[in-house]
With several copies, the nearest count.
Chain A
Amino acid sequence: MSRILGIKYDENNKNHRFARTLVIAVISLTLFILVWWAVSVVTGNTAIPTPLETWNALVDLYLNGDRMTHRTLGQYISASLSTFVRGFILALAVAVPLGLVLGYSKLLRDFSNPVIEVLRPIAPIAWAPIFILSLGYTIGPMLVVFVGIFFPLLTNVIFGVRKIDPNWIDAAKTLGASQLQVFYKVMVPSAVPYVMNGIKIGLGIGWMCIVAAELYATPLMGIGFYLATQANAGYWPGAYAGLVIIGVLGLLTVGVADLIHRIVAKRTGMDV
């Protein structure tokens, strides 16, 4: 590594460091693909398609849609995402205000805590049969996503409000703040990074929930359904294409949240 194209690598040069990261990433991912390829060829296992077969399946899905169901890739993705987004918005709308209030009021927190602790350990995906069967394919999966995002978000917001430096509150009071002003001028803004952190964790779980719900309830016709039918039909390249899409969408949802979280945390200097 120390000498490439005759240029000596200098750990202290930013450009060199960047180049190194890039080179390593490329080598690493190439190796990964090669190993995958080798495993596929050597084992001869049809359940492990080669990267090329997977890529072709992906391209085919993109260009021609799913031949078995006559659905396009866009339809699959939008089915998954629309449920996901609605569940997320609902969770945000409920958990953030609730978390602020519960973080603020010890009495309310004490009262709600036992209920939260009783409901929280239920794996959110376990609600899927109940919500989907009793509330239908529109509201049901949305609520599953909601449950998945709700608890991590709520606990993070409560935690955030409680983690507030008591000196900030004292400072605000000596500057003339009323109780209400303390709440929305100190508690709310200082909870923002925690909200973002909760969103980040919640989105990851919510995304798992929607994929799981789609495996379970096929009429949702989302990307999880595509993966399951491809695997069911023994067409593994299609199944792996599904995995890739799920990975990319997962990366997008959580990655964006992570980015926002980092920016907020950095801007406010509050490292959560």
Chain B
Amino acid sequence: FYLTQDKDKEINLLAGVNTDGSGIYIKEDIDINTMFDFSKPIPTPIKSGWEGKVFGTPGVSTIQHVQLLQIAEGMGMKFAAYQAGGDNNAPDTVYFIANIPNATAALGDEFIDGGSLWQPQYQKIVDDPKFKPLVLTNDLFPGHACCVIAGFHGFTSENEDETVRFLAAYVKAVDWVNNALGAGEGSAEYAKLVEVAKSVAGPNFTEQEIKDAMDTVIFTYGANTGTPLAYLDEQIPNLAESLVELGATNRTLSDLGFDNGEEFAERFMDDSFLLKAFELLDDPNGTSGISGTTDLTVAVIMGDIHQIAIHIANTKLGGDESKSFFEEYGLNVTFSGATNGPGVATAIQNGNASFGLLGAPPITITVINGELVKA
């Protein structure tokens, strides 16, 4: 079932998806100012407010989980699993429940005092009287990487052309999304964007929730410069090192043969396809040589509008007669839905999907634990 060459089971980080776009919510009756000192440029957590509280996260290796972990550890506290019916009163401990991946789960859970989730689930939660917003992760970790596109090396190395076309269509979609947001309410593009977002998020969300949610997200495939993944180049080494340090991984970078995060990131990230995609986009005849369609499976997180661009890329924006961006580039894309980042990581890892959109931490954790790239 598995390809035996080490290189082929590698997973590489190919492009960005978004930064920011998650938020921490908290019970209505908890005083926000006891948990953060908002007078600092970056809000600073206050230990006494956090102690003993229970937070819901969408899974132990998701970015939301890791960020809460970083906050807790930053205050010298343990971030421990909450056991229903167990003893949850240890000193210097913040608790988590790691299966709160959506608004329904959060609103239905009897134990949590708060939690962290992506948009638009976050918006839905804070619109409910039970919870209120505590802080956006943008404000805590400005510009933090959130979702990224990861690719299965076994696929990308054999299908370089398709990979480049996939990224090109994706880049086009991100640009379209940002244009639509720029054009603002009232424009046809914006209306279309909201329509697609609504169908992605599901019937549980109101239009206003969707709009509010999209305002907090920054959509990006990477800065459009010579080194497109510059912001990730900056963050991934640090992320990898701190994940290991925080105990969020079971293996260390040296287990994989790396001396530090930079070395790891260098092997893990691959911007060559993205650069070629830019070339393809710049070529006015870029789509003329494409004949036929190739089938592709892409793993996504269900109901996550961070990943709205991938859905835009698969939508016939000009009506039923037109082609979607993917179709323009000769691709027939099927989505495989997972409930959280680790689910997507798994889909890529077992070759179920050629590409996946997921948070930077889950893919990094999976790659380190699975020794999926080696020095």
Contact = CB atoms under 8 A, between A and B. Distances in A.
Interface of A: 42-47, 57, 66-71, 75, 79, 132-140, 217-221, 225, 229-230, 232-238
A77 to B, nearest CB: 12
A49 B144 CA distance: 34
Nearest to A42: B4
B247 interface: yes
B1 to A, nearest CB: 5
A75 B80 CA distance: 12
A69 B60 contact: yes
Contacts of B367: 234
A57 B98 CA distance: 22
Contacts of B336: 137, 219
A46 B370 contact: yes
Interface stretch (B123-131, B153-161, B321-329, B341-349): B341-349
B181 to A, nearest CB: 27
Contacts of B257: none
A225 B365 CA distance: 18
Contact of A218 (B98, B345, B349, B352): B98
Given A67-B203, A219-B336, A238-B250, A136 B84 contact: yes
Contacts of A68: 60, 202-203, 247-248, 250
Contacts of A230: 250
A68 to B, nearest CB: 5
A233 B371 contact: no
A68 B79 CA distance: 8
Contacts of B21: none
Interface stretch (B24-32, B105-113, B304-312): B105-113
B195 to A, nearest CB: 16
Contacts of B267: none
A74 to B, nearest CB: 12
B255 to A, nearest CB: 11
Given A67-B247, A136-B110, 15 more contacts: A43-B2, A44-B4, A75-B83, A79-B83, A135-B1, A136-B351, A219-B83, A232-B102, A232-B342, A232-B343, A233-B365, A234-B104, A234-B368, A234-B370, A235-B251
Contacts of B67: none
Nearest to B353: A136
B60 A232 contact: yes
Contacts of A134: 1, 349-350
Contacts of A217: 99
Contacts of A235: 249-251, 369-370
B59 to A, nearest CB: 6
B250 A232 contact: no
A3 to B, nearest CB: 42
A144 to B, nearest CB: 14
A42 B3 CA distance: 11
A221 B104 contact: no
Given A232-B59, A233-B250, A235-B249, A220 B84 contact: yes
A218 B340 CA distance: 11
Nearest to B96: A69
A139 B204 CA distance: 29
B81 A69 contact: yes
Interface string B79-122: 11111111000000100011100101100101100000000000
Nearest to B80: A70
Contact of B366 (A71, A140, A233): A233
A220 B350 contact: no
A44 B6 contact: yes
B350 A237 contact: no
6 closest pairs, A vs B, by CB? A137-B84, A69-B81, A67-B247, A234-B366, A70-B80, A221-B83
A68 B361 CA distance: 14
B339 interface: yes
Interface string B48-85: 00000000000111000000000000000011111111
Which of A135, A137, A238 has most B Cβ within 10 Å? Answer: A137
B198 interface: no
A238 B104 CA distance: 15
A220 B84 CA distance: 6
Contacts of A70: 78-81, 93
14 contacts: A45-B9, A46-B370, A67-B247, A68-B248, A69-B81, A70-B80, A133-B346, A137-B85, A138-B84, A219-B337, A219-B343, A219-B347, A229-B98, A234-B345
B338 interface: yes
A174 to B, nearest CB: 51
A166 B250 CA distance: 56
Contacts of A238: 250
Contacts of B369: 233-236
